[in-house]
């Protein structure tokens, strides 16, 4: 029998496929052809079965699906560390929004998005959800880089540098959707900023578009206790109930943060089959509260994970977020067994893919799925001895251990070297923006 010709064969010490759950394969190979996964085979079998055009040998690595960062504001990487250690309302209204009013532009978004993408690729993210302004400029940087993304066009009920009013934001967003409707790596979502910045009429319109176009809705919700108390005062109901009344809670709705949840909130999310995006480090830094992840998982709710923007994190390393999420879930629930290592990995892979509507294509290393893959080197002093690869991945790893990255079979990083972006140029550009943006006074 003649060996089967394929594009790529990756031999790895360990493979965590995510599906089947809790599986770890040892000394196996991943076969890839025509942008897709062919299957996982013992290395000896793969050597005789396939005739690959290229072979990558990873002796001390874990091969796994690329990570899905389910919430962020990529261009805000240019505001990393700009206004640290402030309460959320002051941080946003007195520092971030004024800075954006001065500097936000198409170039700001292009440069900040490219910087963020480079950081994400180097730390293991192969797919991310973005929510910001000038989405068409962000989309162009995403296309150039080769990463996969859901781009949310942000909607407010008031003017910003990105739009005049709700009609303007929505019109531009729908045009962008038409432009990228045939792109396999880019999806366009509607991203109303939050219940407190978008009125009832606009939210109803968004619900109509989301239903008619089967378009995802990406929205900050229940981020702070003040948001909930203000809603009770203004609308006589909690924000989530208001969204339900307006038809926004849909199977394709992604609820970001959700730190303030009671049992009725959990029931609403469950009954409407919505997704929750957990951003633990941003929530902790802004003292916003804690998402009850263990309760949500026990209720059967899909929970993905995101970094939020670098202005409130301050990094886009999703591996760091996994460790924080796992530890925080144990403290919040009072259960040391809550959110184990494999569950945490699922949040950043198949659960993120499900939240973004991509679970049939990415999030696990299954035959027929897109070859969105990363390799993580597990060979440092702090990772020895190794008893459980999944546990080491969550509790001792950082994004700096990621050595290789592929999206749809295309290599975006090899041996820590970016292949589609110029790292030195991006670092110089970031310094130029720092010099232009005056440092924010600290308290």
For 372-410, what is each residue's pLDDT tens digit? Answer: 999 999 998 999 999 999 999 999 988 999 999 999 999
Q: How much is the pTM?
A: 0.96
Q: Give yes or no: residues 90 and 196 share one domain.
A: yes
- The rounded radius of gyration (Å) of the Cα atoms in the chain is 21
CATH number for the domain including 238?
3.20.20.140
Q: Give yes or no: residues 78 and 61 share one domain.
A: no
Position 166 in a domain: yes
Q: Which residues pair with 188 in a beta bridge?
A: 151
CATH number for the domain including 43?
2.30.40.10
Each residue of 318-359: pLDDT tens digit? 999 999 999 999 999 999 999 999 999 999 999 999 999 999
Distance (Å, whole) CA 46 – CA 37: 13
Average pLDDT over residues 164-179: 96
Q: Give yes or no: residues 380 and 302 share one domain.
A: no
Q: What is the pLDDT of residue 87?
A: 84
Position 442 in a domain: no
What are the backbone dihedrals phi and psi of residue 257, each rounded to the nearest 5 degrees, phi first?
A: 90, -75
Q: Give yes or no: residues 217 and 272 share one domain.
A: yes
Residue 443 pLDDT greater than 50, yes or no: no
* Residue pair 119/74 in contact by the 8 Å Cβ criterion: no
Q: Give yes or no: residues 395 and 325 share one domain.
A: no
Position 421 in a domain: no
Confidence of residue 442 (pLDDT cuts 50, 70, 90): very low
Position 416 in a domain: no
Q: Give yes or no: residues 107 and 40 share one domain.
A: no
Would you state the structure tokens that stand for residue 309, as one six-digit string? Answer: 């923007």
Domain housing 24? 4-65+373-407
The domain tally of the chain equals 2
Q: Give yes or no: residues 275 and 389 share one domain.
A: no
Q: Give yes or no: residues 194 and 46 share one domain.
A: no
End-to-end CA distance of the chain: 72
What are the backbone dihedrals phi and psi of residue 442, each rounded to the nearest 5 degrees, phi first?
A: -95, 150
Q: Give yes or no: residues 105 and 167 share one domain.
A: yes
Q: Give yes or no: residues 12 and 141 share one domain.
A: no
Position 221 in a domain: yes
Q: Give yes or no: residues 91 and 231 share one domain.
A: yes
Q: Give yes or no: residues 56 and 93 share one domain.
A: no
Position 425 in a domain: no
- When the pLDDT of each residue in the chain is averaged and rounded to a whole number, the result is 96
Position 336 in a domain: yes
Each residue of 185-237: pLDDT tens digit? 999 999 999 999 999 999 999 999 999 999 999 999 999 999 999 999 999 99
Position 132 in a domain: yes
């Amino acid at each position: 029998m003649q060996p089967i010709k394929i594009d790529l064969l990756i031999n790895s010490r360990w493979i965590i496929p995510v599906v089947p759950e809790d599986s770890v394969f040892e000394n196996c190979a991943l076969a890839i052809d025509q942008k897709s996964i062919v299957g996982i085979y013992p290395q000896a079998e793969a050597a005789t079965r396939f005739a690959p055009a290229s072979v990558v040998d990873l002796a001390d690595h874990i091969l796994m699906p690329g990570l899905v960062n389910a919430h962020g504001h990529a261009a805000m990487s240019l505001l990393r560390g700009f206004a640290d250690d402030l309460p959320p309302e002051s941080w946003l209204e007195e520092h971030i929004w004024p800075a954006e009013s001065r500097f936000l532009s198409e170039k700001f978004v292009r440069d900040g998005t490219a910087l963020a993408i480079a950081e994400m690729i180097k730390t293991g993210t192969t797919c991310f959800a973005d929510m910001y302004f000038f989405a068409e400029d962000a989309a162009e940087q995403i296309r150039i880089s080769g990463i996969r993304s859901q781009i949310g066009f942000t909607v407010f009920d008031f003017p910003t540098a990105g739009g005049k009013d709700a009609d303007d934001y929505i019109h531009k967003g729908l045009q962008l959707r038409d432009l990228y409707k045939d792109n396999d790596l880019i999806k366009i979502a509607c991203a109303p900023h939050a219940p407190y910045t978008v009125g009832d009429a606009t939210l109803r319109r968004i619900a109509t578009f989301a239903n008619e176009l089967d378009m995802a809705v990406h929205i900050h919700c229940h981020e702070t206790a003040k948001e909930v108390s203000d809603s009770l005062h203004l609308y006589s109901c909690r924000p989530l109930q208001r969204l339900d009344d307006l038809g926004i809670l849909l199977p394709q709705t992604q609820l970001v943060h959700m730190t303030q949840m009671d049992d009725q909130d959990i029931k609403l999310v469950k009954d409407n089959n919505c997704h929750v995006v957990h951003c633990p480090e941003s929530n902790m830094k802004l003292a916003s509260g804690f998402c009850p992840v263990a309760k949500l998982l026990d209720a059967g709710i899909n929970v993905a994970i995101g970094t939020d923007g670098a202005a409130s994190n301050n990094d886009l390393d999703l591996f760091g977020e996994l460790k924080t999420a796992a530890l925080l879930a144990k403290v919040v629930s009072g259960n040391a067994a809550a959110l184990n290592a494999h569950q945490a990995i699922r949040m950043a892979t198949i659960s993120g893919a499900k939240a973004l509507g991509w679970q049939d294509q990415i999030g696990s290393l299954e035959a027929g799925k897109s070859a969105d893959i990363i390799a993580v080197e597990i060979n440092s002093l702090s990772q020895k001895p190794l008893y459980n690869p999944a546990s080491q991945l969550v509790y001792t790893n950082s994004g700096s251990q990621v050595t290789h990255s592929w999206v749809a079979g295309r290599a975006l990083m090899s041996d820590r070297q970016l292949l589609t972006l110029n790292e030195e140029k991006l670092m110089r550009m970031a310094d130029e923006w720092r010099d232009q943006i005056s440092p924010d006074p600290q308290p």
